[in-house]
Amino acid sequence: MPNTKEYYNKKAQEYAENQSFKNWSNKAEKQYKSHIDKFLEKLSFDKVLDAGCGPGRDTEYIAQQGYQTTGIDNAEQMIKQATQQKHQAQYQQMNITDLKFEDRTFDGIWCNSVMQFLNQEQMLKALQEFQRTLKPGATLSTTFKTGGQHKNPEPKRHKIVEDKAILLLKKAGFQTPKTMTKFKHNGMKNLRIYTQKPMKL
């Protein structure tokens, strides 16, 4: 089985075409964008990181709302897809467990459907990097897979129970989440969490 980077480098163009909002129903697009809007409403300022941006679908939507947006992905072909479109965001190839940004850079981090590709040790490292690069009081939105079986067996995905996900967030230095949303997608149960970096550490 290919690793995540190999898989998405190979499937980048196909993935970009399939995941484009133009292929979604109006209802599905509106519902999904409402999650991003909920995240954006929690931000005090406008510097946003889309961590694990893929071909830039969410990144571009956030940028179109007037935010200074950077998208990163570990797969170089995904970044290539993102930069080929008419874009308003900036893109860099980067692993979310080793961010090349200075401390306290971002007002918000959006990380959708990425944690599933990390084991728990890697999840904690990514969350620690998010905490480091967020400004005090800034918001993180991220999702975890909590159950079910994805319809596509590749690449390997990791599930985590809700209590353990919250424990990892707290261990990384985030506040206890006050807002969580549970939903199903592609045969898997998901948990979307919104949390903040404390104002004082």
Domain of 62: which CATH number?
Answer: 3.40.50.150
Query: What's the pLDDT band for 201 if we cut at 50, 70, 90?
Result: low
User: Do 196 and 137 contact (CB within 8 A), yes or no?
Assistant: yes
Domain-located, residue 81: yes
Count of domains forming the chain: 1
pLDDT band, very low/low/confident/very high, at 86 (cuts 50, 70, 90) = low
Over residues 88-99, the pLDDT tens digits come to 899 999 999 999
In a domain, 11, yes or no: yes
201 within domain boundaries: no
Q: CA-to-CA distance for 164 and 50, rounded, in angstroms?
A: 24
Q: What is the mean pLDDT of residues 184-201?
A: 86
Q: Which domain holds residue 33?
A: 4-196
pLDDT band at 150 (very low <50, low <70, confident <90, very high): low
- Start-to-end Cα distance in the chain: 41
- 190 φ, ψ to 5°? -125, 150
On whether the pTM is more than 0.85, the answer is yes
